[in-house]
Structure 1
């Protein structure tokens, strides 16, 4: 009854996502905004997926994994923390007129995905393979912090007397085309290296924002002909040339057919991503997201308006005081005139300005 009340009896207006195994609704439960995932498969298969996801999530807590709040078996429902910026796929597709993710923000998201996977793979007593890593299953909170979600086909990895690499064998292949490890498709063996392959494709998506199908071949060809700048996503700003090439090469290594040739997440992958995170800013040019879209000046007091965009407080207040009811960026009606301080961005701007003075 609580779940039905929280979602207005699973009303379509509350729907915020839909996938192969369930539908997600935004709800308000016990004074908290939550995401309610209703699994749509009945019978033995549905029960197994439900139990597997509960089993995986109820034992783990990590900043880069979505938090399971509760379970309602009668309604076949899982209740998760609500992440206001939706999925990484939403952001890459610029849904709801949102601003494009900067290249530095994309690299930070890649770092947090990597951290979440390292935690899963090093779980004790058995490592866990996510099994369906893709931008749809990477959720972003209000500060664009990244959390892995959808553990319906995740599996613990077993070691036998005849194997060295922990794995889970299955005859029922599951996953998403474009992100599935070809070695898994050929053998039916799910290993941690499956996630490494998927991570490589996600890295390429972050760099290029192109379809995952055939993307490794496109990136390889671009690197070979020195035309990577032609396929990078320019909406993310001006990517630094050499670090971006190195990141693309790393993504290709993650997607090698032979599992043993793929890089180690904790050492090789993390080192490359961390080096790019620490790449120095251009001292003469501020990041584009520091600039108010209205004044075209670096913001001193950035605030988030009802349209989801960040503006200089005085600029958006003047806009509203003039009687404007439409968003200056999205050209849609503003639901309200409340402004939320964007403290994370303000601190980032102040830190950048200090570096300019050094």
Structure 2
């Protein structure tokens, strides 16, 4: 059923990605592959490699992230906890914001109106995470590589690998920093 988070077995994901043959990219937490689900929808599968967390923590994070839905957040569609944990998101055909801001070809540069709309969308997504979710979600790694662009250049915040879930009654000081150097979340400063 559309909109519901599903659990897949590893074999289904191998089929969807043609045995992980179309690599889109990768980062500190794993590699991303393009795939097609049985309903013909394009997806991006992230195979997590450096989790440092058990299955219980993985399922808890999936449960939380799988329930949040906002037009400016990448939607988690499917997960698989078999072997290395895998997350399947909607595919974003225009790639990352980074590829458009720091690309050497001049024909790939975004105009100012589009940049403004992207910035506004990112802000709306962050407000939703911080103020409108049952648990406050501090992303901890907002950077151009983690902002994906849909077919209409609508921004989608992605990569919740470093996200910190904080209850609404949270009152203690956060002492461990998370994030990418140069893009450290202001909550940690």
- Name the one with the larger helix percent: 1
The answer to whether 1:59 aligns with 2:64 is: no
The answer to whether 1:107 aligns with 2:116 is: yes
The answer to whether 1:144 aligns with 2:153 is: yes
Greater relative contact order (Cα 8 A, min sep 6): structure 1 or 2?
2
The answer to whether 1:153 aligns with 2:153 is: no
TM-score by length of 1: 0.45
The answer to whether 1:135 aligns with 2:144 is: yes
Look up the match of 2:187: 194
The alpha carbon displacement at 1:95 in A equals: 6.6
Aligned match for 2:174, one of 146, 169, 175: 169
The answer to whether 1:6 aligns with 2:16 is: yes
Q: Which has the higher mean CA deviation after the structures are superposed, 118-127 or 76-85?
A: 118-127
Unaligned runs of 5+ in 1: 182-192, 196-256, 258-358
The 5-angstrom pairing of residues 2-81 of structure 1 reads: 2-11=12-21, 14-30=22-38, 31-41=40-50, 44-45=52-53, 47=55, 50-51=58-59, 53-75=61-83, 76-81=85-90
Structure 2 vs 1, CA of residues 142 and 95 (structure 1 numbering), >3 Å: closer, same or farther?
farther
1: CA distance between counterparts of 2:93 and 2:101? 15
2: CA distance between counterparts of 1:159 and 1:127? 6
1: CA distance between counterparts of 2:146 and 2:121? 13
- Name the one with the larger strand percent: 2
Three-state SS of the structure 2 residue aligned to 1:45 is coil
Three-state SS of the structure 2 residue aligned to 1:125 is coil
1: CA distance between counterparts of 2:163 and 2:173? 10
The alpha carbon displacement at 1:170 in A equals: 4.9
Listed one character per residue, the Cα deviations across residues 216-274 of structure 1 (whole Å, up to 9, x for unaligned) are xxxxxxxxxxxxxxxxxxxxxxxxxxxxxxxxxxxxxxxxx6xxxxxxxxxxxxxxxxx
Structure 2 vs 1, CA of residues 98 and 3 (structure 1 numbering), >3 Å: closer, same or farther?
farther
Structure 2 vs 1, CA of residues 81 and 92 (structure 1 numbering), >3 Å: closer, same or farther?
same
Unaligned runs of 5+ in 2: 1-10
2: CA distance between counterparts of 1:158 and 1:63? 23
1: CA distance between counterparts of 2:111 and 2:94? 15
8 Å Cα contact 1:53-1:153 kept in structure 2? no
Provide the aligned length of Structure 1 versus Structure 2.
177
Two-structure CA RMSD over aligned residues (Å): 2.5
8 Å Cα contact 2:28-2:50 kept in structure 1? no
2: CA distance between counterparts of 1:80 and 1:5? 16
The answer to whether 1:179 aligns with 2:161 is: no
